[in-house]
Amino acid sequence: MTHEASTVLSECAHTAGTYRKRDVAIVRGEGVWVYDEAGRKYLDAIGGIGANVLGHRHPYFSTELKSQIDLTLSVPELLCNNTRAEYQSALLSLFPPCYDRVFLCNGGAEANEAALKFARVLSQKTPLVALNFGYHGKTLGALSVTHNPKYREPFEPLYHPVHFLPQGNIERLNEVFDGDPPAAFIFEGVQGEGGVRTPESEYVKTVSHRVQEGGGYVIADEVQCGFGRTGRWWGFEAHGVEPDFVVLGKAIGNGVPLSAVVLHKRVGQLPPLAHTTTFGGNPLSCRAGLATIEVMKQESLVEQAAQRGEQFRHLLREARLSNVRELRGEGLMIGVELKERAGRYLAELQQEGVLALLAGPRVLRALPPYVISEDEMNFLAGRFIEVLRNEKN
């Protein structure tokens, strides 16, 4: 048995079993590339499921993390800390001045959980509104507003009531307001897990206004589509709304667990202890957040995400692949919808040296690091074209 096979077997034997693992054991990374135990090289278009934006082993990022380890790792939020204070300011500086406070935590679902609790306690209302195909995480509250019944049904009864709205459906929206007005409307600027779909701006605007008029709050879940991924800093910008809460995760820590809820000025004072978490705002994560923002600005990575995403789409359009139904997403949030099930192409891509994702049964998804070069994008798009051209129907 190879070393790699033994790592895969060992990990599969000891894991709790909630992941479908691939038969590859990654040992190290460099830029957009990762290497398995046998020394094979892959272009990492999984990118930590959207968390790895600066590539592996970015020198400035690594140096900054090491310097924080030499200072302190553990300063909970009941004490103040210079790195955290600096990070809060740096993060808020990426938003218009009407966003003035931030709650820090560790993962995307947890941050959505916090935002839902904030909306609920401030509005004193119960119902929640979400969009069909939305994904917000798998803790009980976040799961309640996640649309896919496959994830929700084994855990019902969940939070109640939650109204899921089909895109553009005003009748369903009116029905929601026939009952108690909602505490919150949660949406993704570009939906990720649900198939890389961009919601209709007019509908997002209409639902947001109705919910805010009724005394509820609007939550933009930017965990996957935020922080430059779409070639803009924020996914919600395209929809002409000003959310009350902006939820961030994944990319903001470049792989170090870090998430945040950013609060609009119009949001009132939260009750003390309304939500807390031991590791929230820890100095290591905050240092990671600061270094990530610094490199994003220095290397103009938001602009680069827009350009590289356009390059991918251009190359795929030119290839005129007969089994591609639609090219989805924006910037480096890449979805390729097929006319058939997409699963088998993941294995073929892996064989060709590319690690990619699915977003539902028919959509191949790529979330490469923003540092991907023009040549590396040619490689990525070329491998997609090659495997999709060799369809086996």
Ligand X SMILES: Cc1ncc(COP(=O)(O)O)c(C=O)c1O
Instruction: Return residues touching ligand X (CB under 6 A).
Output: 49, 107-109, 112, 135-137, 188, 192-193, 221, 223-224, 249
Cβ closest to ligand X, residue 111 vs residue 371 = 111
The answer to whether residues 116 and 141 touch, using CB atoms and an 8 Å cutoff, is yes
Find the shortest distance in angstroms from Cβ 80 to ligand X.
26
Cβ neighbours around 27 below 10 Å, total: 13
Nearest to 122 by CA among 219, 249, 234: 219
Cβ closest to ligand X, residue 60 vs residue 151 = 151
Cβ closest to ligand X, residue 4 vs residue 188 = 188
Cβ neighbours around 163 below 10 Å, total: 17
Residue nearest to ligand X (CB): 108
Cβ closest to ligand X, residue 188 vs residue 376 = 188
Find the shortest distance in angstroms from Cβ 155 to ligand X.
15
Cis peptide leading into 157, omega within 30 of 0?
yes
Find the shortest distance in angstroms from Cβ 111 to ligand X.
8
Find the shortest distance in angstroms from Cβ 177 to ligand X.
26
Cβ closest to ligand X, residue 88 vs residue 259 = 259
DSSP-assigned letter for residue 370: T
Find the shortest distance in angstroms from Cβ 355 to ligand X.
16
Find the shortest distance in angstroms from Cβ 34 to ligand X.
19
CA–CA distance, 266 with 168 (Å, rounded to integer) = 27
Backbone angles phi, psi at 217, to 5 degrees: -120, 150
354-355 and 41-44 beta bridge pairing: parallel
CA–CA distance, 54 with 47 (Å, rounded to integer) = 10
The answer to whether residues 283 and 68 touch, using CB atoms and an 8 Å cutoff, is yes
Nearest to 257 by CA among 134, 103, 359, 110: 110
Residue 347: both structure tokens together: 């294995």
Cβ closest to ligand X, residue 143 vs residue 211 = 143
Cβ neighbours around 153 below 10 Å, total: 9
Cβ closest to ligand X, residue 193 vs residue 376 = 193
CA–CA distance, 305 with 163 (Å, rounded to integer) = 34
The answer to whether residues 359 and 365 touch, using CB atoms and an 8 Å cutoff, is yes
User: How large is the greatest C-alpha to C-alpha distance in the chain, in angstroms?
Assistant: 64
Cβ closest to ligand X, residue 41 vs residue 155 = 155
The answer to whether residues 151 and 138 touch, using CB atoms and an 8 Å cutoff, is yes
Find the shortest distance in angstroms from Cβ 134 to ligand X.
8
Cβ closest to ligand X, residue 87 vs residue 135 = 135
Find the shortest distance in angstroms from Cβ 20 to ligand X.
15
CA–CA distance, 169 with 157 (Å, rounded to integer) = 26
Find the shortest distance in angstroms from Cβ 221 to ligand X.
5
Residue 310: both structure tokens together: 């356009």
